[in-house]
Structure formats: structure tokens, C-alpha cells
Amino acid sequence: MRSLKINAPAKINLFLEVTGKRRDGYHNLATLFAKISLFDSLALKKVRRTDISLKVINKANLALSRAEDNIVYKAARKFFEAFPVKPAVEIELVKRIPVGAGLGGGSSDAAAVLKALSLLYGLNIGRNFKKLHDLAAGLGSDAPFFLSDAAFAAGTGRGEILKPVRFSGRPPFIVLVYPGTPVYTGPVYRALRPVPSGEKAANLKKFKTLIKALESGSPPGIWGELLFNRLEEPVLSSFAPALSPGASKGRGPAKLLLSEADLPAYKAVREAKADLIKAGAAAVLMSGSGASVFALAPGRAAASRISKSVKKPGRKIFLLNFLLKF
């Protein structure tokens, strides 16, 4: 094989609870990933010269920089370091998934490159899956989900420990709103406040109930009420700069958890969610750490009506499907 093309899908999180802080600085999660019909695309071609070249066609909000800084280039380099093949490939990335949107675009691109290079160089993906999984996990917490064949999966650990979820029944349509400004993951996690253990335990029961509902074919009107995202709290309630918990109780000086520069982006997320609810969408949730917000609609006509009603300058509106097979 001399060349191939591959799609890299986006994801949304139907559920996301933060269950604890890890020693490595990351957080443990209980999350439910779902692949959706918004794609970046990659074309790879073997070449004679020994190097990796990357061309990016930017149809999103990617801040273009050196090719070596792009996660696609980093994934390719890690692949060639891990397997006994010479790096001699041209890669073209068409970027459509917004950056800083909670859609996993970078992680999906990285996983797609690992898959594509395995196919291009005749490596058996099944036999080498553990090594590929470890490479993916080192590139992004969501990347192992995109490396897997699962359309839906429950993720624990950083999100890299996966259990496929078999969706049954008729899936709803998705109206996805990207407000136009990115939200960055680090500040959102740093602004999380402590949550009582009882509340977390109740949410983890809800998490299991949601998975069972998806697998049993329950209609979206039932399982849509179970959607949850802990990361909404610091984003949607951050319009006065958040203070550290200790400062609010008089234990030391006030410490900003979110910067003033972040607040306009968070306000845009809040407005997007409010507009989707106002448009009549029953199930509305922010994906990941934002900035995208999605709504579930029972049919295409309802989804189209909602999408038209939330159009505003600067927003990107996508009418999408769940990928039941990928």
C-alpha cells in the first residue's frame, strides 16, 4: 500500500464526573464517550525521502504553527520511534473539528495517524494494539477511545480505560453549537471545587443507569434526563471570577481560579446552552471542558428547527448523527 485516506471523528461526552485528583496531576473520570459525524480527514502517502512532512488545510480555528508542534506530527514521530520502519511519509490534514471545543479533535487526529500508519506499513493492528494504545494514551487522554472501534464507550482512569457500550434503539439527532471562542481544559479543571462523596456516589449510580438505558434501547426521552457533566460548574458559573474555597471561608487571601481573560468564552458557552434550552431542546449538555454545547432532538425536523433558532453571528452550528459503527 502506497497511500490511504482516513477520517478522524469528533466525540461528545454524554456523562462526565470527576472522581478524584491523581498524583500525576491528571484527574480520574467516569465518562461516557460517543463518536459523532463531524470529521477531520487525513491523507497519507509513502515517499522516497526519509522524513515526515505535514500539510494542514485549516477549515477550523486551528492556530497554525510549525508542523512539528502539531499532534499529528508528534503521533507520527512516536509511531516511527516505536516500530522498526523508516519515517518516509507525507501527511495532509484537513482540519474541520473546532479546537478548544470539547470534541477531542486533536486526540482523534493522533489516533487516526497511528491507525493509518499501521495500515500503510502493513502492521497488524490487533497484534500491536497494546503498544498503539500506550502511544495513544501518551498523546491524549481521549486518544485511546478514538483508537478503539467502539462507537460508545465508558471511560475511567484519565479516560483511557475503556469498556465498549453497545447502543440499542433509535438514536436521536444532535444539534451541536460551537460558540466561536475556545475554552481551554487546564483552567477548567483547576477551578473545580470539592464535591461531597455522597454526591459523587449518587452520580456514579446515575452513570451506570445511563449505560444500562443505552444498552437496553430506552428512548432518548428517558436517558436524556441522565446526562451530566461536572465540568459545566466552573464554566457556566464563572461570570464573577471564582475564588479559592479557602479564601471564601476567610482562610487566607483570595486566589483567582479563573482569569478575567477566560470569562468571555465561558459566557458564550452559557448563552449557547440557554439558547438551546429556550429553543425547546429537552436534553442539553456541554461536551468535555467546552466550549461546544449539544442538544438531542427526536427527529431531523426538530433538530433542524432547533439549529435555525440558535443561529447567531460567530457561532458554528452542526446538525449531526451518532456513529453507531466506525
The letter for the amino acid at 194 is: P
Task: Pinpoint the alpha helices (H) of the chain.
Answer: 71-82, 105-120, 129-139, 143-147, 185-190, 197-216, 220-223, 232-236, 245-248, 263-278, 300-309
Q: Which CATH number fits domain 3-164: 2.50.20.20, 3.40.50.150, 3.30.230.10, 3.40.50.2300?
A: 3.30.230.10
Range in 235-239, 288-292, 308-312 the model is least confident about: 235-239
Q: How far apart are CA 237 and CA 271, in angstroms?
A: 12
Higher pLDDT, 1 or 248: 1
Mean per-residue pLDDT, 166-192: 94
Quick one: fold of 173-320? Alpha-Beta Plaits (3.30.70)
CB-facing half-sphere around the CA of 210: CA atoms within 13 A: 24
From 11, 35, 78, 273, the catalytic residue: 11
What's the pLDDT tens digit per position in 62-74? 887 788 999 999 9
Which of helix, strand or coil describes residue 176? strand
Q: By C-alpha distance, which of 16, 298, 256, 7 is closest to 146?
A: 7
Mean pLDDT of 135-144: 97
Q: What 8-state DSSP symbol labels residue 44?
A: E
81-120 per-position pLDDT tens digit: 999 999 999 999 999 999 999 999 999 999 999 999 999 9
Domain boundaries, the chain: 3-164, 173-320
Whole-number pLDDT of residue 262: 65
As a whole number of angstroms, the distance between CA 226 and CA 228 comes to 6
Does the structure show a pLDDT above 70 at 248?
A: no
Q: Is 262 a catalytic residue?
A: no
Asked whether the CA dihedral 292, 325, 41, 76 is positive or negative, the reply is: positive
Find, among 236, 237, 207, 269, the residue nearest to 15 by Cα: 207
Question: What was the pLDDT predicted at 322?
Answer: 97
Question: With 50 as the cut, is the pLDDT of residue 148 above it?
Answer: yes
Residue type, 26: Y
Residue count of the chain: 326
Q: What is the pLDDT of residues 14-26, one digit of tens each?
A: 999 999 998 888 8
Q: Which residues of 90-113 are buried (b: 16+ CB within 10 A; e: fewer)?
A: bbbbbbbbbbbbbbbbbbbbbbbb
CB distance 322 to 151 below 8 Å = yes
Give the predicted TM-score (pTM) of the model: 0.92
Catalytic residue, candidates 40, 109, 142, 262: 142
Spatial separation of the C-alpha atoms in residues 26 and 308, rounded to whole Å = 38
To the nearest whole number, what is the mean pLDDT of the chain? 91
pLDDT digits (tens, 9 = 90+) for 294-323: 999 999 999 999 999 999 999 999 999 999
Q: Determine whether 142 is an active site residue.
A: yes
187-222: b (≥16 Cβ within 10 Å) or e: bbbebbeeeeeeebeebeebbeebbebbeeebebee
Contact, 14 vs 294, CB < 8 A?
Answer: no
